[in-house]
Structure 1
């Protein structure tokens, strides 16, 4: 009797099928869902305001490299906000099976395209801030808008070349389950390409990080060498503060994620097989992914600080709104007080 019971229990497997899919890693998504909803709720109004601000300031905008990189960063943010609700629905368990598969094949890929586009353009912005203080012939050429647009096209083309095959490569049928792991849908060739994609994107991140680090070091070196000239020291100090602040935000946002990303990919590829290790790596990946996606809420502040025309447009909007509110308040006061004044005058007469 006991032997029969043991044999039956040994044949029971969680949703998803065989032994290789028996480890469920994404059944503790509650806190992450709340965090992703907050990112969407805060990031969407800021990004829409940024779109409006750039459209309104387009005519008065001098086509500089900073403007080009900021616009491309905004495009990456919009793509992220478009794809994020699909991830939220999947993690929430409120999506249909077809929608969950759609997220794995399409919207999830768009999130990572947006993430690495943001990494590249933030790195370009940091380097550009350092170059603005150089005023050499070479730095001026690198700051031409045509060169910035060329770099932007190369970044988008490279990311699409790397990432789009993840949408097109074949997937396999999997048993319907509440806790779908996207890697369980991938055929062997698709899983290999996914692993290659992660390492190529990591290489892009390392190159971008090297550019950020070098720019920060050169800005600091310029500050140390400018003590003898008070004017140069003030200019260098301003550049160092700007570059260092952005570099620190870049590091806090993206470095933790990439520390966890490689071992998590090895777990997806079944190089790491221990279930408890897989669960810990997945939770680490989701925690650090939240930090990486949080930049979409902070980018509008970057647009406001770095783009003068955008800043002036937003200020005019809020000044106009404030003036309208004051006028409306004064009108209400007049409507309330006028009958009383007239009544007092009649009484006096």
Structure 2
């Protein structure tokens, strides 16, 4: 398969992206559904908070993005030819982009909420409410919707070549939109995550009630979250920034498109890994949500009970350190 205008080898990304999407969908769908169920049970038990609202929105955006992956796999297997019509292409492509950047925004809100909770625990109580979180969630969805609408209109479907969410070479307007996503969808969130992590770390260093191990544990989780964001979204936005800036300045855009096609497409596919990792960082580190999930699903409760018995038999004198670490992680996440 070759593109009519740039002679791109469109089939070179089929195997890699199909494997990536298949792995993410098969593991990410059950983990997100389990996470949503656990958070729902936590909310029913009275454990609701503004953090719960942000995490719920994050997981919903991940789930919507996951549901588009089977169609993208069929698109790849069909040789980059979209057989479902223009309206379906625009809907699926739009859902994909909206949920990628909505999840980025909710990650920033979670980080800012943790920063307020740890650095300004008393003065931020009026801001850190469920109502404010719900309104913030609605605002995020509306702004993300309008932002993506401005960049993806009038269409993301090439009716002549049946390409969906692909342009070779791209139009100047689309290139400017993608450069804007690099700034607002990656560089700005990186700044927010880095600032909140550093601010929380400095606050914890001055806290006399925490041991060094507990401080290192909390700061370590913040660093892992920030590094995870950079690793998942960094390659796509950095390679994309180079691609679209060069296309605006280049007199031979097709040569650049051919040289960067495969690496850009693989980096594009890797952004979906956030749908797999978000439940691990923002649910499975939360002891309250795990307990609610175990209570609502007896099979998990029995498995956990068996592990506890094995642990107790192997260690007759359990240390109180584990309880302290769990409490600190719960402070960080919820």
- Assess same fold via TM > 0.5: yes
Between the aligned partners of 1:128 and 1:314, the Cα distance in structure 2 is 24
1:301 aligns with 2:280: yes
Partner of 1:11: none
The structural deviation recorded for 1:28 is 0.5
The structural deviation recorded for 1:161 is 0.6
The structural deviation recorded for 1:33 is 1.2
Between the aligned partners of 2:10 and 2:79, the Cα distance in structure 1 is 14
Identify the match of residue 193 of structure 2 among 212, 225, 231. 212
Identify the match of residue 135 of structure 2 among 150, 153, 163. 150
Between the aligned partners of 2:33 and 2:227, the Cα distance in structure 1 is 26
Between the aligned partners of 1:15 and 1:133, the Cα distance in structure 2 is 54
Between the aligned partners of 1:289 and 1:171, the Cα distance in structure 2 is 16
Between the aligned partners of 1:261 and 1:185, the Cα distance in structure 2 is 13
Q: Which moved more, 1:289-298 or 1:266-275?
A: 266-275
Between the aligned partners of 2:7 and 2:165, the Cα distance in structure 1 is 10
The structural deviation recorded for 1:104 is 4.5
Assess if the C-alpha contact under 8 Å between 1:86 and 1:103 holds in 2.
no
The structural deviation recorded for 1:305 is 3.5
Q: Deviations over 1:135-170 (max 9, x none)?
A: 444333332222222222221111111113556515
The structural deviation recorded for 1:173 is 6.2
Identify the match of residue 279 of structure 1 among 238, 255, 258. 258
Identify the match of residue 197 of structure 1 among 174, 177, 181. 177
Identify the match of residue 269 of structure 2 among 282, 290, 293. 290
The structural deviation recorded for 1:215 is 0.8
Identify the match of residue 86 of structure 1 among 55, 71, 90. 71
Assess if the C-alpha contact under 8 Å between 1:65 and 1:144 holds in 2.
yes
Q: Deviations over 1:233-289 (max 9, x none)?
A: 566444322322211211211122210112333567684635443133222222222
Q: Which moved more, 1:152-161 or 1:284-293?
A: 284-293
Change in 2 beyond 3 A, CA 1:284/1:48: same
Q: Which runs of 5+ in 2 are unaligned?
A: 306-334
Q: Which runs of 5+ in 1 are unaligned?
A: 1-13, 327-349
User: What is the SS of the residue equivalent to 2:210?
Assistant: helix
Change in 2 beyond 3 A, CA 1:151/1:213: same
Partner of 1:333: none
User: What is the SS of the residue equivalent to 1:182?
Assistant: coil
Count of aligned pairs: 302
Partner of 1:338: none
Q: Radius of gyration: which is bigger?
A: 1
Using the size of structure 2 for normalisation, the TM-score is: 0.77
Using the size of structure 1 for normalisation, the TM-score is: 0.74
Between the aligned partners of 2:120 and 2:175, the Cα distance in structure 1 is 42
Partner of 2:225: 246
1:41-190 pair list within 5 angstroms: 41-93=26-78, 97-99=82-84, 101-102=86-87, 104-165=89-150, 168-169=153-154, 174-176=159-161, 182-183=166-167
Between the aligned partners of 1:172 and 1:283, the Cα distance in structure 2 is 20
Partner of 2:202: 221
User: What is the SS of the residue equivalent to 2:118?
Assistant: coil
Change in 2 beyond 3 A, CA 1:255/1:142: farther
Change in 2 beyond 3 A, CA 1:247/1:234: same
